[in-house]
């Protein structure tokens, strides 16, 4: 089933054309990998899909409904964006992991938080730990968990394994795969990483703001 349909999507800032006429269809539960040279417009495409930027032209339709018909909150709960540089806020790990409950005004589910921490190899991570003392790999994993404590329909991953060592990368990729296969979250992942490119699913390439080389293959 088609979950996301992008038609003639373009983005321009002043006179600079960043993306031109992108057409892309994403099936429910699929795993799409987007690759391409630095500066080609990949992050811009994810930001457009996340509704963090308004397109200059074109449409994005989620479950047969144009993005413009969702409230920002409603849409953000369905389509969640993990940034290239994991952004944590507040002072502690707990501030970040309690946040998804707080904004929904529901009690914090400590069991779900402990389970999620364990799933990404952070079983002994104290919630009182200061975020300034975390490694890059720990930050990335905590940001990822924060995004999926309430599972979105689509997770947008922007070079989330960049800068991680081999062990952390393996944990993160296995977790992402689990979210896709066992929870049915649709993945749209931007990456340069050779191991991440070995993930299953379809791959497309963006070069100079245009979508090229759409190959369908499965692993």
Contact between 42 and ligand ADP by CB under 6 A: the answer reads yes
Contact between 160 and ligand ADP by CB under 6 A: the answer reads no
Distance of CA 152 to the CA centre of its chain: 10
**Strand ranges (E), 110-179:** 154-158
Contact between 207 and ligand ADP by CB under 6 A: the answer reads no
Q: Which residue sits closest to Mg ion, CB atoms considered? A: 43
Q: What's the min distance (Å) between Cβ of 13 and Mg ion?
A: 15
Stretch that binds Mg ion, among 36-44, 56-64, 128-136, 140-148 (CB under 5 A): 36-44
Closer to ligand ADP by CB, 41 or 94: give it.
Answer: 41
Count the Cβ atoms, other than its own, within 10 Å of residue 219. 7
CA angle, residues 197, 35, 96, in degrees to nearest 5: 80
Q: List the one residue from 3, 20, 35, 43 that touches ligand ADP (CB under 6 A).
A: 43
> For residue 143, what is the DSSP state?
H
Contact between 50 and ligand ADP by CB under 6 A: the answer reads no
Q: List the one residue from 43, 96, 186, 199 that touches Mg ion (CB under 5 A).
A: 43
Contact between 35 and Mg ion by CB under 5 A: the answer reads no
Which of ligand ADP, Mg ion, none has residue 191 at its interface (CB below 5 to 8 Å by kind)?
none
Q: What's the min distance (Å) between Cβ of 84 and ligand ADP?
A: 8
In which residue are the tokens 């811009």 written?
44
Both tokens assigned to 162: 């960049």
Which is nearest to 155 in space by CA: 77, 88, 60?
Answer: 77
Contact between 33 and Mg ion by CB under 5 A: the answer reads no
Task: Kindly list the distances between the CA atom of residue 18 and the CA atoms of 12, 26, 209, in Å, as whole numbers in the listed order.
Answer: 5, 21, 5
Q: What's the min distance (Å) between Cβ of 213 and ligand ADP?
A: 15
Complete edge-to-edge strand list for the sheet that includes strand 57-62: 16-27, 2-13, 57-62, 65-66
Round to whole Å and give the CA distance between 135 and 155: 23
Total residues at the site for Mg ion (CB under 5 A)? 1
Hey, is 204 helix, strand or coil?
strand
Stretch that binds Mg ion, among 39-47, 94-102, 125-133, 209-217 (CB under 5 A): 39-47
Total residues at the site for ligand ADP (CB under 6 A)? 10
Task: Give the footprint of ligand ADP on this chain (CB under 6 A).
Answer: 13, 16, 18, 38-44
């Amino acid at each position: 089933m088609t979950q996301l349909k992008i038609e003639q999507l373009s983005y321009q800032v002043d006179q600079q054309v960043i993306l031109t006429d992108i057409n892309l269809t994403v099936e429910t539960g699929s795993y799409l990998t987007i690759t391409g040279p630095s500066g080609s417009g990949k992050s811009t495409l994810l930001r457009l899909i996340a509704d963090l930027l308004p397109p200059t032209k074109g449409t994005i339709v989620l479950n047969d409904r144009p993005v413009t018909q969702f409230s920002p909150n409603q849409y953000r709960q369905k389509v969640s964006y993990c940034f290239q540089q994991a952004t944590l806020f507040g002072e502690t790990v707990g501030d970040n992991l309690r946040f998804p409950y707080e904004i929904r005004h529901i009690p914090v589910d400590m069991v779900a938080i402990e389970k999620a921490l364990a799933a990404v190899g952070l079983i002994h991570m104290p919630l009182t730990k200061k975020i300034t003392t975390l490694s890059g790999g720990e930050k990335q994993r905590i940001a990822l968990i924060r995004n999926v404590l309430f599972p979105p329909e689509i997770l947008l991953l922007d070079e989330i394994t960049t800068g991680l060592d081999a062990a952390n990368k393996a944990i993160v990729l296995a977790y992402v795969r689990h979210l896709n296969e066992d929870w049915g979250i649709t993945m749209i992942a931007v990456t340069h990483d050779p191991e991440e490119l070995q993930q299953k699913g379809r791959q497309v390439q963006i070069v100079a703001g245009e979508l090229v080389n759409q190959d369908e293959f499965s692993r």
